[in-house]
Amino acid sequence: MNKRLVGIVTLLVLAAGTFAEAQQTGKVSRIGFLDRSTASSFLQMSPFLQELSKLGWVEGKNITFEYRFAEGKSDRLPELAAELVRLKVDLIVTTGRAPAHAAKSATTIIPIVMTAFPDPVGEGLVASLARPGGNVTGFSGLSYELSTKRLEILKDAIPKLARVGILQQAGLEPADVLLKGNRAAPLALKVKLEEIETEAGAKGLERAFRNAKEKQVGAIMTVGGRVFLAERKPIVELAGKYRLPAIYPNKEYVDEGGLMSYGTDSTDL
């Protein structure tokens, strides 16, 4: 983790220089904020603003935000990223994979800080964790590595588990991308993965859980991401309704009554 922090700090120091200059001149700096979901589903905005204020940056005083939310439609992200670039914001903050890719495609000049990106090196977003290079830095959520661990925890909890349903958003990567760091994990654990595609919303989630039961899965794993996090309460309720033990990537699911979670603290990131 120390190597990760070296790369993170390097570009953040450069970005901080821009902001420090702005503070001295009285300029109001603009931060572009790019997210795939909705304003109401982004739970970490309050702590994000609180931490900025501790560093002397107060919205409406010396910084202002240009918020852009794709409302769950990833195809809107390139357009929204380009809009932030046209506005000449001083910095772009992104959440998740798609917004970070959209921002990088839109600019090679404006600094980009990503949050909870699963595999920034493997997907070509940065050169390395220690020396990211370019205009992108930030944090990895270790999604692939932790997905393997979640599968192991499920097997420990349910020794006879033979089939696991991977609840994922329709149109995204196949389930085995979750285990990119260790594709042999399901084979070693003698567990078969079943992709359970779903659309957000009550009807889409209900269909997904019915599909899971039809496929005779013994447990559920939920992929990360803002869209499912926003739907965490109905997801937990449906897992109970269909009597499917589940493990989640965020502790917020457990706060809603979910069985267990294992993952990074998204608020801390």
Please give the DSSP secondary-structure letter assigned to residue 2.
H
Same domain, 132 and 164: no
Same domain, 156 and 96: no
pLDDT score for 1: 41
Same domain, 46 and 161: no
**Domain final residue pick, 140, 171, 203:** 140
Same domain, 125 and 170: no
Q: Is the pTM of this model over 0.85?
A: no
Which tokens go with 260? Answer: 């267990």
Same domain, 162 and 246: yes
In a domain, 242, yes or no: yes
In a domain, 266, yes or no: no
In a domain, 118, yes or no: yes
pLDDT score for 230: 81
Domain ranges, residue 158 = 143-261
Average pLDDT, 10 consecutive residues per value, the chain (269 residues): 47 55 74 87 80 93 95 91 98 92 97 88 89 92 80 93 88 53 68 86 92 95 80 95 95 95 85
pLDDT score for 13: 54
**Domain final residue pick, 140, 171, 189:** 140
3-state secondary structure of 255: helix
Same domain, 13 and 116: yes
CA dist 50 to 6, 44, 60, 62, 142, Å? 24, 10, 13, 14, 25
pLDDT score for 59: 92
pLDDT score for 20: 57
pLDDT score for 92: 98
The enclosing domain of 188 has a CATH number of 3.40.50.2300
**Domain final residue pick, 140, 170, 201:** 140
In a domain, 269, yes or no: no
User: Which parts of the chain are beta strand (E)?
Assistant: 29-35, 63-69, 91-95, 112-117, 136-140, 163-169, 192-198, 219-222, 246-248, 260-261
Same domain, 38 and 66: yes
Same domain, 185 and 216: yes
Same domain, 23 and 134: yes
Domain count, the chain: 2
Same domain, 126 and 159: no
Same domain, 22 and 82: yes
| Amino acid sitting at position 2 | N
